[in-house]
Amino acid sequence: MNNKLIALALLAGAALSQTAAAADVANGRALVEKYNCASCHGKDYNSPIDPGYPRLAGQHADYLKHALTAYRRGDSAMNGRNNAIMSAQAKPLTDRDINDIAAYLHSLPGSLVLRK
């Protein structure tokens, strides 16, 4: 391969990985509707049905991604979270699903984090 081709291949690779990383908020919304996450976390994701259930609206997307990935891992793995309810919820989710769900929940107005 000559240098121009290599540069082109690198550019294409960078473009592809950017597409993969960009979250799709509308898809995140469709997914939480499909899985009916609101049945526990509240219709606005800020008024859960039980005080022990966490508010999700406005939470940092990184935190939500980390939490969902940890539930999916379960507690038999390093950095897993052990919760029977949420592990079952997270099991069917792909990395892409988690990325999109986190972006959607983060976009909602909530009282958890300060916005600058």
Which one of residues 23, 57, 61, 64 is an interface residue with ligand HEC (CB under 6 A)? Answer: 64
In terms of CB distance, is 23 or 86 closer to ligand HEC?
86
- Burial of 67-86, coded b for 16+ CB within 10 Å and e otherwise, reads bbbbbbbbeeeeeebeeeeb
Query: Of the ranges 8-16, 17-25, 61-69, 72-80, which one interacts with ligand HEC (CB under 6 A)?
Result: 61-69
What is the nearest approach in angstroms of ligand HEC to the Cβ of residue 6?
41
- Nearer of residues 1 and 70 to ligand HEC, judged by Cβ: 70
Q: Is 14 exposed, middle or buried (0-12, 13-18, 19+ CB in 10 A)?
A: exposed
Tokens 């121009």 locate to 4
Answer yes or no whether residue 67 interacts with ligand HEC by CB under 6 A: yes
